[in-house]
Chains A and B, each alone.
Chain A
Amino acid sequence: DAGVIQSPRHEVTEMGQEVTLRCKPISGHNSLFWYRQTMMRGLELLIYFNNNVPIDDSGMPEDRFSAKMPNASFSTLKIQPSEPRDSAVYFCASRSSGNEQFFGPGTRLTVL
């Protein structure tokens, strides 16, 4: 099993640019979670999907952030336009019918 796959692993962009982060969950998992990790705020849940449907997006910071899950094997988190305060590590995690979430390696985003 390849685990949760995220791409890119590192992204450096300039303020105002669009950023798209990608996630492939573990095959067979029906829940997917996007987290953001910063020194100041720790781990924050941004949004999660159940069976490709967004269940709770109350953690999404503002309208500049959007997430989609067009099918069971792919999800994107988009920031448009990006700002320096969006710099963080973004994690994707997936879960089957059990309780354990499996995390990807993360995408380190730097917005200049």
Chain B
Amino acid sequence: AQSVTQLGSHVSVSEGALVLLRCNYSSSVPPYLFWYVQYPNQGLQLLLKYTTGATLVKGINGFEAEFKKSETSFHLTKPSAHMSDAAEYFCAVTGGGSARQLTFGSGTQLTVLP
């Protein structure tokens, strides 16, 4: 079974400051990990994903995340927040087997202050 924990349901940062959204997972098999972003009244959009290989993955809009197996973490970062980054962010992990269904965290609402 897989599970995802996102620490902090709400995070506020100032424009230009570092964004750090935390995600820890548990998985009985090697995980595939994802970050999705949801803007108001829209569906989820993939920011980045880790499957295999390089543990530091870069995504769209300047976001990146690092897979740390020893810490079972996949935290999302961006060096400098922009007002347009305000949204809800979801971390997700795949289930085992061929179906690979996603298990989502509870989400983190990011607010960017001017």
Chain A residues with a Cβ under 8 A of chain B? 4, 31, 33, 42-43, 45, 48, 50, 55-56, 91, 93, 99-106, 108
Contacts and interface: CB of A to CB of B under 8 A. Distances in A.
Contact of A56 (B32, B42, B101): B101
Given A99-B94, A100-B46, A100-B49, A45 B99 contact: no
Contacts of B94: 99
Contacts of B42: 105-106
Contact of A100 (B34, B41, B43, B99): B34
B106 A104 contact: no
A4 B43 CA distance: 10
Contacts of B107: 42-43
Given A91-B43, A105-B43, A43 B32 contact: no
A25 to B, nearest CB: 13
A-B residue pairs, 4 tightest by C-beta:
A103-B43, A103-B44, A43-B104, A42-B106
A100 B103 CA distance: 13
A31 B106 CA distance: 23
A91 B102 CA distance: 14
Given A91-B44, A105-B42, A99 B101 contact: no
A48 B104 contact: no
Nearest to B50: A99
5 contacts: A42-B104, A43-B107, A99-B49, A103-B36, A106-B43
Contact of B43 (A31, A45, A99, A104): A104
Contacts of B44: 91, 93, 103
A44 to B, nearest CB: 9
B43 A101 contact: no
A33 B43 CA distance: 13
B94 to A, nearest CB: 6
A100 B48 CA distance: 9
Nearest to A50: B99
A100 B101 CA distance: 10
Contact of B99 (A4, A48, A105): A48
